[in-house]
Amino acid sequence: MLILALDSTAVVATVALCRDDQPLASFTLKNGNTHSETLLPMAKALFDVTGYTADDVDLFACSEGPGSFTGVRIGAATIKGLAFGKQKTVIGVSSLEAMARNLLPANGLICPVMNARRGQVYNALFLAKDNCLTRLCPDRALAATELYDELLARGEPFYLIGDGCEVAKAAFGDLTSLPVPALLTEQNAVGVARAALALFESGVRTTDQELSPTYLRLPQAERERLAKEQALK
């Protein structure tokens, strides 16, 4: 199965073309929030170097969130556009799970964190064992101090990954994580492809029309509007 996957939920833009769970080619760019300008050229470059076209793709995948509101929307719109009219399966996956899958075949507790601002992180916990990933909680937005309390109570070693690491570490104090290679600490579209393949193999069959972003929180503008309305009451 040929899978085209992308992730633009954080500062990294990443696109991969995989044969089942094995990458054929991948590009990652960390050049600020320019995803609307870079994702399509990156996808085109993948096809150019591999000799495939979008018509050859069997499964289109993207991270549907959580993450940057703009980045999530750009990623979903891009994959919808690439898959439009092709009658192919389009699967959105958790950006947190995709990051966790990049650590396999490591064993142990994996704690992806994405910066949700104001001392909060987007997070989920996963247990990796024997090259399998088990989700321990749903994706959530919580204070980094709450996550610290939870990890302290679990009392087991853990891997910390994602662009929210600095926010988390500031709240964790002397609670330290296991070492992770620098290349695996941020988003990589290969993990998106692997997460989508796992869903496909479990029977998930969705379309580009059904793909919907997952935000977990209201956009900042909406939060500010509601706060102003509350202050006026």
Residues 86, 198: one domain?
yes
Residue carrying structure tokens 């490591």: 106
Round to whole Å and give the CA distance between 223 and 213: 18
* Cα–Cα separations (whole angstroms), residue 206 to 27, 61, 83, 203: 25, 10, 12, 10
* Confidence check: pLDDT of 81 > 50: yes
Strands 22-29, 89-94: pairing kind:
unpaired
What pLDDT, in 10s, does the model give residues 10-52?
999 999 999 999 999 999 999 876 899 999 999 999 999 999 9
Residues 103, 63: one domain?
no
Predicted pLDDT of residue 111: 98
Residues 55, 168: one domain?
no
| Three-state DSSP state, 68 | coil
What pLDDT, in 10s, does the model give residues 185-222?
999 999 999 999 999 999 999 999 999 899 987 555 44
**Mean pLDDT rounded to a whole number for the chain:** 92
Round to whole Å and give the CA distance between 153 and 231: 37
What pLDDT, in 10s, does the model give residues 134-157?
999 999 999 999 999 999 999 999
Give me the phi and psi of 28, to 5 degrees please: -130, 135
Domains held by the chain: number: 2
Dump strand ranges (E) for the chain.
2-7, 13-19, 22-29, 59-65, 89-94, 108-117, 120-123, 126-129, 132-135, 140-143, 158-161
Residues 50, 157: one domain?
no
Residue 202 burial by CB count (10 A; 0-12/13-18/19+): exposed, middle or buried?
exposed
CATH of the domain at 136: 3.30.420.200
Between 228 and 61, the more confident residue is: 61
Residues 166, 191: one domain?
no
Is residue 233 a part of any domain in this protein? no
Predicted pLDDT of residue 226: 44
Predicted pLDDT of residue 230: 57
Residues 90, 191: one domain?
yes
Residues 105, 126: one domain?
yes
How large is the average pLDDT for residues 212-233?
60
Is residue 232 a part of any domain in this protein? no
The answer, as to whether pTM is greater than 0.95, is: no
Residues 131, 143: one domain?
yes
The answer to whether 158 touches 149, Cβ cutoff 8 Å, is no
Q: What percent of the chain has pLDDT over 90?
A: 88
Predicted pLDDT of residue 34: 84
Is residue 81 a part of any domain in this protein? yes
Encoded tokens for 33: 């929030």
Between 162 and 229, the more confident residue is: 162
* Cα–Cα separations (whole angstroms), residue 224 to 50, 169, 220, 227: 46, 27, 6, 5
Domain range for 159? 98-184
